[in-house]
């Protein structure tokens, strides 16, 4: 072989080796790792205390829509009154917006859609009834509808963008039944998981519902109900269990438009305290853990997978604190954080806890400020709104 060809082949070998090295594939080398994802801005919040209705002592916020309207209830010596809060009007009693001769007394407001329709529980001529409140258009007054009953009282807990409602009603035998109510069908029993009792807590824009249902004499399981299409019956799925808990009870409390569900799995008592864990169900049940104690519960989630709830921070202390499960962190991964530590403008003398209830797709959270524990005791609460603060560069 001539010197010319030897030199040419040597140059080609060098070029190939250099090209492979540049591509991370040189002999003996490895492909370099992909660069880490850029960090997300760590979310923080500003707090607004919503107060109470005139003459009352406590209030709780239960839902917030994408326009920042909040619903809940305010409580005093004469019981509870449903309220609607907006930035422009402040806190307004729903009873003050309706005809006093209607026979309605609206006690709780539990859910609101972006059209301003509200559902909850009240009394119609002294009888416990689920209602849907629809704002009036122009000079027309609001309309309050009786959603009906299976024989006993009824309560509504969720409403979607179409005005469809999910809730519960007792039948003539006193059994609790889950329902979906639509303009076309009225109140429809969606069945149970085999144990004869069921209740619904939330509904998404596809008509999927979550809640709890018995599967035997004492076992309660979280479910996801999907309505049937083309005349086919709907399907109620048992969402299963967290294997580490072997629970006696589980319930779904909110469902987003992806069909993802949050709630909690309750294993009863452990070392003198309630022992439950918050869960997120996507295609399986994920244990969200706690802030440090034995107990946590998840109440709301948005379309981005952010979850709010409450948790112990240590045991045996039974006091609950609000948590946020979010990927708006330094690493961009989902973690559970103590919500109170993300609020930038808490008063210096603030001693209460933050008890979140719902989070919308803009990251706005509603709930209460006060004290609560895992035994169900709650006192001194005031409705609050937490608004995301744009991170500073």
Residues of the domain holding 327: 41-389
Specify if 184 maps to a domain.
Answer: yes
Q: What is the pLDDT of residue 244?
A: 63
Cα separations in angstroms, 187 against 130, 142, 305: 10, 21, 30
Residue matched to tokens 């007054």: 141
Specify if 264 maps to a domain.
Answer: yes
Q: How many domains does the chain have?
A: 1
Distance CA 283, CA 263 (A): 15
Tokens (6 digits) for 315 = 């045991």
Specify if 129 maps to a domain.
Answer: yes
Please enumerate, as own/partner, the contacts of 370-379 that have beta carbons within 8 Å and a separation of 24 or more.
370/58, 371/319, 372/310, 372/319, 372/320, 373/318, 373/319, 373/320, 374/273, 374/274, 374/276, 374/295, 374/312, 374/318, 374/320, 375/274, 375/318, 379/58
Specify if 128 maps to a domain.
Answer: yes
**57 phi/psi in degrees, rounded to 5:** -115, -25
Specify if 14 maps to a domain.
Answer: no
**340 phi/psi in degrees, rounded to 5:** -60, -30
pLDDT in tens, the chain (393 residues): 444 433 443 433 433 344 433 443 333 444 566 555 555 568 899 999 999 999 999 999 999 999 999 999 999 999 999 999 999 999 999 999 999 999 999 999 999 999 999 999 999 999 999 999 999 988 899 999 999 999 999 999 999 999 999 999 999 999 999 999 999 999 999 999 999 999 999 999 999 999 999 997 668 999 999 999 888 899 999 998 886 666 668 999 999 999 999 999 987 655 455 688 999 999 999 999 999 988 999 999 999 999 999 999 998 888 899 999 999 887 888 999 999 999 999 998 898 899 999 999 999 999 999 998 887 777 779 999 999 997 544
| Residue 184 buriedness (CB in 10 A; 0-12 / 13-18 / 19+) | exposed
The answer to whether 210 and 157 have CB atoms below 8 angstroms apart is no
Over its C-alpha atoms, the chain yields an Rg (Å, rounded) of 26
Q: What is the pLDDT of residue 198?
A: 97
Q: What is the pLDDT of residue 27?
A: 37
pTM equals 0.87
Q: What is the pLDDT of residue 329?
A: 82
The answer to whether 367 and 322 have CB atoms below 8 angstroms apart is yes
Nearest to 309 by CA among 285, 332, 276: 276
Distance CA 297, CA 321 (A): 10
Tokens (6 digits) for 327 = 């990927």
Q: What is the pLDDT of residue 287?
A: 94
Q: What is the pLDDT of residue 216?
A: 75
- Give the number of C-alpha atoms closer than 13 A to the C-alpha of residue 278, restricted to the C-beta side: 29
* 3 CB neighbour count, 10 Å cutoff: 7
Specify if 20 maps to a domain.
Answer: no
Q: What is the pLDDT of residue 72?
A: 98
What CATH number is given to the structural domain containing 80?
2.120.10.30
Specify if 271 maps to a domain.
Answer: yes
Distance CA 292, CA 189 (A): 40
Q: What is the pLDDT of residue 311?
A: 95
Residue partners of 354: CB distance under 8 A and separation at least 6: 321, 322, 339, 340, 343, 367, 369, 384, 386
Specify if 5 maps to a domain.
Answer: no
Q: What is the pLDDT of residue 385?
A: 98
Tokens (6 digits) for 375 = 């035994």
């Amino acid at each position: 072989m001539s010197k010319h060809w030897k030199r040419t082949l040597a140059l080609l070998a060098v070029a190939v080796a250099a090209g492979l090295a540049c591509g991370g594939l040189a002999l003996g080398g490895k492909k370099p790792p992909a660069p880490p994802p850029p960090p997300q801005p760590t979310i923080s919040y500003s707090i607004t205390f919503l107060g109470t209705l005139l003459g009352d002592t406590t209030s709780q916020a239960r839902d917030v829509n994408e326009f920042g309207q909040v619903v809940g209830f305010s409580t005093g010596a004469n019981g509870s009154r449903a309220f609607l809060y907006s930035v422009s009007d402040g806190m307004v009693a729903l009873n003050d917006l309706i005809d006093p001769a209607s026979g309605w007394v609206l006690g709780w407001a539990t859910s609101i859609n972006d059209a301003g329709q509200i559902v909850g529980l009240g009394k119609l001529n002294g009888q416990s009834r689920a209602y849907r409140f629809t704002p009036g258009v122009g000079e027309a007054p609001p309309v309050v509808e009786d959603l009906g009953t299976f024989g006993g009282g009824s309560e509504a807990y969720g409403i979607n963008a179409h005005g469809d409602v999910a809730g519960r009603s007792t039948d003539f035998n006193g059994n609790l039944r889950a329902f979906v109510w639509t303009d076309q069908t009225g109140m429809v029993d969606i069945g149970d998981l085999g144990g004869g009792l069921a209740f619904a807590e939330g509904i998404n824009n596809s008509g999927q519902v979550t809640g709890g249902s018995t599967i035997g004499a004492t076992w309660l399981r979280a479910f996801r109900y999907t309505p049937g299409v083309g005349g086919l019956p709907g399907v109620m799925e048992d969402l299963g269990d967290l294997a580490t808990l072997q629970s006696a009870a589980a319930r779904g409390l909110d469902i987003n438009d992806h069909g993802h569900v949050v709630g909690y799995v309750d294993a009863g008592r452990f070392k003198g305290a309630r022992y439950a864990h918050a869960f997120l169900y996507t295609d399986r049940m994920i244990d969200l853990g706690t802030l440090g104690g034995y107990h946590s519960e998840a109440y709301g989630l948005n379309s981005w997978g952010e979850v709010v709830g409450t948790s112990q921070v240590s045991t045996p202390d039974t006091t609950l604190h609000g948590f946020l499960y979010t990927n708006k962190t330094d690493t961009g991964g989902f973690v559970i954080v103590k919500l109170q530590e993300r609020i930038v403008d808490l008063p210096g003398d603030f001693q209460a806890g933050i008890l979140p209830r719902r989070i919308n797709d803009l990251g706005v959270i509603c709930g209460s400020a006060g004290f609560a524990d895992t035994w169900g005791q709650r006192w001194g609460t005031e409705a609050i709104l937490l608004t995301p603060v744009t991170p500073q560069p």
